[in-house]
Amino acid sequence: MMRGRVFGVLSGVLVASLTVAAPQAAAADPCRWIPHELPLPAATTAAKTSGGSEDNRFIVGHGRVGGSAERGLMWDHGALMEMAATSSSIAIEPQDVNNHGVVVGGRSDRAQGGQQAFRYENGVYELLETPSGHDSRARSINNNGDVFGEVWDKGGGGRHWAVLWSRDGRLLDLVGRAVGVSDDRRLVLTSGTTVYVAEADRARVVQLAGGNPPAVLDNDRVLLFTSSGLGEWTLTGEHVATWQGGTVPFGRTSDGQAVFGAVMGTPTLWQWGISYPVDSAKLPDARYYGDVTDGGALIGTYVDPGGSTHPARWFWCA
């Protein structure tokens, strides 16, 4: 799918504005990234972004609505789509959503304890198979419905491993912690300071040498921390780019022309190998999910002076 033309035009304006804004400052205010808060249900607090679809149509997050436990939130092209409510003692924390609007994450029972991975589709929660005496959480879902996550011993003191819940019902256990699953069932995992890609349908594992967590899978590329900045790898293990100075990856456009991340906590956009700190009165916080869309918007969560979090999208000069 060809995408990114709108962003190309926008980013050209961005670069031009950065180069000419200073001489023109007396004549007009320079352009900045303007946050547009994502709508929330009434009485929602502590809302934050936690995932998004590969095409950026859907964004998911969670927050407290009234006196309830964490409740799942979902936006379609920026419009709120409330996820089905559960009991006030059940916390729903989405972690990812695919291009079809299928959401995955973790469901916690505050009364009885424990957490279990879920898939949410067409208004129905499906709890994913979890061994007795263990907790689980889904981290990622591809566009075919395969879910990737992790399982651990209750209490957290024992074994912790990654699990692929295949759409056809098969389970695959792997060593490590889940990062993401591609449409062709390549699994990105971390194990200590190592990041690697395993193929679910073949006995093949590729280490992404030189990269370390944190890791993000976006548009079939893996973004990692390296000693020089954010490194970019293909799913076959080829190191194709380094985005200088980056310390935390958020995401990339489908054509790879722009990468969004942070440099020591400062949100930063890289284009054509040049880094631009995000200029905004309200900055995306590197502790929460973020991304850059092909249409030229940034996605994330900002924190106000009082410490409250706000899911938002940022648009250039709009």
1 pLDDT exceeds 50?
A: no
Q: What is the pLDDT of residues 12-47, one digit of tens each?
A: 334 333 332 333 334 456 789 999 999 999 999 999
The DSSP 8-state label assigned to residue 14 in this structure reads H
In a domain, 23, yes or no: no
314 pLDDT exceeds 50?
A: yes
CB neighbour list of residue 26: distance below 8 Å, 6 or more residues apart: none
pLDDT category at 187 given cuts 50, 70, 90 is very high
Question: What mean pLDDT do residues 67-84 have?
Answer: 94
pLDDT at residue number 18: 33
**Total domain count for the chain?**
1
80 pLDDT exceeds 80?
A: yes
**Closest to 148 (Cα-Cα) out of 192, 202, 101, 184:** 184
218 pLDDT exceeds 60?
A: yes
Query: Looking at residue 156, which CATH number applies to its domain?
Result: 2.130.10.10
User: Is residue 20 a contact partner of residue 27, using CB atoms and an 8 Å limit?
Assistant: no
pLDDT at residue number 104: 99
111 pLDDT exceeds 90?
A: no
CA distances from 198 to 96, 142, 149, 173, 175 (A): 20, 15, 14, 11, 10
Compute the distance between CA of residue 239 and CA of residue 148 in angstroms, rounded to an integer.
Answer: 24
In a domain, 250, yes or no: yes
pLDDT at residue number 192: 95
In a domain, 21, yes or no: no
In a domain, 19, yes or no: no
In a domain, 20, yes or no: no
Q: What is the pLDDT of residues 125-183, one digit of tens each?
A: 999 999 999 999 999 999 999 999 999 998 777 789 999 999 999 999 999 999 999 99
In a domain, 183, yes or no: yes
pTM: 0.90
In a domain, 303, yes or no: yes
Domain extent at residue 254: 7-14+31-37+45-316
In a domain, 1, yes or no: no
